Amino acid sequence: MDLRTRVRRPARRSRAHGGLAAHLREPTQVVFLALLGLVAVGWALVAFDGGQLLTMESVVGIQQRSAALGIVAIGQTLVILAGSLDLSVAYLISLTSLVAAEIMAGQDGNIWPAVTAVLVISSLVGLVNGLVITRLQVHAFIATLGVGLIIKGIVDHLYDGPAGEVPASFQVLGYSRVGPIPVSAMLWAGVAVVAWFLLSRTRLGYRIYAVGGNEEVARLSGVRTARVTVITHVLCSLCAGIAGLLLAARLGAGTPTVGTDGGYDLESIAAVVLGGTALAGGKGGVAGTVGGVLLLAVLDTIFNQLEVNSFAKDVVRGVVIVIAVAVYARRGTRRSA
Amino acid sequence: MKRALPILAVLVVLLTAIAVVNPFFLEPAGFLAFLKRAAPLVILAAGQYFVIVSGEFDLSVGSLVTAEVVIAARLIDGDESATWPVLALLIAVGLLVGLVNGVVTTKLRVPSFIVTLGMLLVLSGAVFLWTGGAPRGALSEGFRAFGRGGLGPLPWSVLILLVLGGAAIWLMRADFGKILMATGDNERAAALSGVRVDRVKVFAFMLSGLSAAVAAILLGGFAGVSAQVGQGLEFSAITAVVLGGVVLGGGRGSVLAAMAGAVTLEALFTLLNLYGISGALEYTVQGVIIIAAVAAGVIRLPRKSTPRRGDAHAAS
């Protein structure tokens, strides 16, 4: 009898994790409320300045600006939910943009081989990240930083500047749009929906929350935690690869600095945390991350319209991120108290 | 000392390898020049060590170094008499940034990764907002002496390194070190045993800020004023600390090993240069070595540190 209750307990707990995932929409609501508030305040400020915030042009701009970061941030969400993190994404984006543009070499026929190569390379990088973390037991911070440095070294050694050429038919991904919605934003939305489905409707999703919530408990409940960690890293790297394709399409060529210049590593982590996902793992979700990325993009657009100095943007951005997380932390302690 | 042994062994091997290629390295002047170059990173690593061992991160040190150098150049602007007041100001700014990092982390319960990431953005934005995009002004000769000059054959930076390194080792042996270690190992247990956890952590962040200020003073003199002077230093410092066998997450590792890790990293760069590995591939080698070193450390450490040595052997 005693044995049976002991066996049962982990099962109950993993169900509680599924419940948790449903409960933790709360910070998500906060992000979208903040987003609405920001749009309202920004609209007023820009109107006062004699402009208009929500023109067709700026709405398209917001979506285009956030698509690449959004896709990376969704991958980062999966990794962070599983209690890990990935600092190699920025370097991987540069690498994949180069691989894509070099293989395409301006020929329409080479698009699919290039896309396949990018996806294969990024999943390999993800696999290496995951295996170094789980098999060699290196802290994710050091493991992904190390892998990132390895990629950076190879890329910088082989390339000094932009290389390769993306054919016009692939550049559609970067520029064209259907009505007010750019193709890149649709791609982002597609990735987000897949990730949402994965997290909230599949067994793997629950396992990700379980591993991030408490790895030891998850392991004792029969979850193969190492496998979950590796899979999330592969998925995250795939997202970075897709972002690399998107940026190659937009720039028309591969660039060795496109990932690091965009600051996609730290910025994607910031967007995830801004969306209410706990850095320690186990709490949060994709919807919040989408809100976080949009929040950063709207902030950017408002500053552009008001013609605020770009350095002031960084200051405000830093303050906003810290304040947002402080607000979540406060709610968290109140709930548990 | 015992915990510093593996990294010291690696260091000796690297130094020997350098000496084989470049015999000048064995002469006092050659070795002192190497130490002078390594001093800023070693000091940063010591500061980062306090934060990491208390269970936190400090990602803001790189941009703090840049900010300090830019502030110094703008305020001194070649004026010799401004040197000492500005030096005092830099130290104060470093301590203040650490204080803010620490207070936001402990009182507002924001993870330090995010706090210091926010601080990184704020510092790099604010300082260039103030100077209009590019560093302006110039450092005085008196200021640059700390990074360049010396007392006879001994460079100032090596003297400063010895003093601060000694102070760090002393600090870790004093009550503060034991309390810091306890906090990083198990915060709740430490708090229940009467440790003022918040105060200890704030102090650790202030030490990191202080070390960034000192590193900025040395780097400003050694490398001059630029917007890139502190770029990537936060990752180098964390890498150095981890190379020294200090565990991310807190509670394990010695400050001497952390500093030895920084010297090792610098020796590694020197060696790669000597063997003519191009600037870019240096990163690749660095990445491989960091992962390998940490992996090797993790595999070896549990056997050494757990008292149940027999179990570990039986398992392997």
Which two structure tokens, joined as six digits, stand for B236? 């180098």
Average pLDDT over residues A92-98: 96
Structure pTM? 0.84
- Tell whether A14 is covered by a domain: no
Q: Which residues of B touch A325 (CB under 8 A)?
A: 110-111, 114
Q: What is the largest CA-CA distance in chain B?
A: 68
Q: Which amino acid, residue A270?
A: A
The residue among A315, A316, A320 with the most chain B CBs within 10 A of its CB, best to mutate, is A315
Interface contact B287, partner A, CB < 8 A = yes
Dist. CA B18–CA A337, nearest whole Å: 58
C-beta neighbour count of B17 within 10 angstroms: 17
Question: Is residue B61 a contact partner of residue B45, using CB atoms and an 8 Å limit?
Answer: no
Q: How far is B302 from chain A (nearest CA, A)?
A: 12
Interface contact B301, partner A, CB < 8 A = no
Question: Is residue B78 a contact partner of residue B137, using CB atoms and an 8 Å limit?
Answer: yes
- Tell whether A80 is covered by a domain: yes
Dist. CA A263–CA B121, nearest whole Å: 11
Helix B28-53 and helix B197-223, axial crossing angle in degrees, nearest 10: 150
Q: Closest by alpha carbon to B292, among B233, B224, B243, B230?
A: B243
Sequential pLDDT tens for chain B (316 residues): 566 777 888 888 889 989 888 888 888 888 898 999 999 999 999 999 999 999 998 999 999 999 999 999 999 888 888 889 999 999 999 999 999 999 999 999 888 988 999 999 899 888 888 888 788 888 888 888 888 888 778 889 999 999 999 999 999 999 999 999 999 999 999 999 999 999 999 999 999 999 999 999 999 888 888 888 888 888 889 989 988 888 888 888 899 999 999 999 999 888 888 887 767 787 888 888 888 877 876 555 444 443 433 333 333 3
The residue among B64, B114, B282, B299 with the most chain A CBs within 10 A of its CB, best to mutate, is B114
Which two structure tokens, joined as six digits, stand for B195? 């440790």
**Is 70 exceeded by the pLDDT of residue A11?**
no
- Tell whether A226 is covered by a domain: yes
- Pick from B59, B125, B239: CB nearest A315: B125
Q: How confident is the model at residue A15 (pLDDT cuts 50, 70, 90)?
A: very low
Higher pLDDT, B100 or A27: B100
Q: Closest by alpha carbon to B65, among B220, B257, B273?
A: B220
The count of structural domains within chain A is 1
- Tell whether A11 is covered by a domain: no
Dist. CA A267–CA A65, nearest whole Å: 13
Asked if B287 lies within 8 A of A146 by C-beta distance, the reply is: yes
Q: How confident is the model at residue A81 (pLDDT cuts 50, 70, 90)?
A: very high
Asked if B284 lies within 8 A of A154 by C-beta distance, the reply is: yes
Asked if A311 lies within 8 A of B119 by C-beta distance, the reply is: no
Distances (CA, A) of B268 to B15, B272, B280: 9, 6, 14
- Tell whether A16 is covered by a domain: no
Q: How far is B288 from chain A (nearest CA, A)?
A: 6
Interface contact B285, partner A, CB < 8 A = yes
**Is 50 exceeded by the pLDDT of residue A8?**
no
Average pLDDT over residues A226-255: 94
- Tell whether A5 is covered by a domain: no
The residue among A129, A135, A311 with the most chain B CBs within 10 A of its CB, best to mutate, is A311
C-beta neighbour count of A56 within 10 angstroms: 9
pLDDT of residue B202: 96
C-beta neighbour count of B7 within 10 angstroms: 26
Helix (H) or strand (E) holding A181: strand A181-182
Dist. CA A86–CA A141, nearest whole Å: 7
Chain B, nearest residue to A145 by Cα: B287
- Tell whether A6 is covered by a domain: no
Residue ranges making up the domain that contains A236: 25-336
The full set of domains in chain B, from first to last, is 2-18+36-304 (1.10.3470)
Above 0.85 for ipTM, yes or no? no
Tell me which of A56-65, A141-150, A292-301, A314-323 is least confident.
A56-65
Interface contact B316, partner A, CB < 8 A = no
Dist. CA A304–CA B270, nearest whole Å: 44
Interface contact B298, partner A, CB < 8 A = yes
Interface contact B118, partner A, CB < 8 A = yes
Interface contact B104, partner A, CB < 8 A = yes
- Spatial neighbors of B185 by CB under 8 A, at least 6 apart, are B250, B251, B252
Helix (H) or strand (E) holding A178: strand A177-178
Interface contact B192, partner A, CB < 8 A = no
Asked if A141 lies within 8 A of B279 by C-beta distance, the reply is: no
Q: Which residues of A touch B119 (CB under 8 A)?
A: 318, 322
Chain B, nearest residue to A270 by Cα: B114
List beta partners, residue A163: A254
The residue among B283, B286, B294 with the most chain A CBs within 10 A of its CB, best to mutate, is B283
Average pLDDT over residues A14-40: 66
Asked if B113 lies within 8 A of A279 by C-beta distance, the reply is: yes
Dist. CA A269–CA A282, nearest whole Å: 15
Q: In 3-state terms, what secondary structure has residue A308?
A: coil
Asked if B114 lies within 8 A of A330 by C-beta distance, the reply is: no
Asked if A317 lies within 8 A of B121 by C-beta distance, the reply is: yes
Higher pLDDT, A333 or B283: B283
Q: Closest by alpha carbon to A245, among A194, A191, A181?
A: A191
C-beta neighbour count of A171 within 10 angstroms: 15
Higher pLDDT, A250 or B152: A250
CA A264, chain centre distance (Å) = 9
Interface contact B276, partner A, CB < 8 A = no
Q: Is B166 exposed, middle or buried (0-12, 13-18, 19+ CB in 10 A)?
A: exposed
Residue percentage of chain A with pLDDT more than 90 = 48
Dist. CA A180–CA B126, nearest whole Å: 36
Chain B, nearest residue to A312 by Cα: B125
Helix (H) or strand (E) holding B269: helix B255-274
Rg (CA), chain A: 21
Q: Do the strands B154-155 and B150-151 form a parallel or antiparallel pair, or are they unpaired?
A: antiparallel
CA B104, chain centre distance (Å) = 22
- Tell whether A19 is covered by a domain: no
Q: How far is B42 from chain A (nearest CA, A)?
A: 19
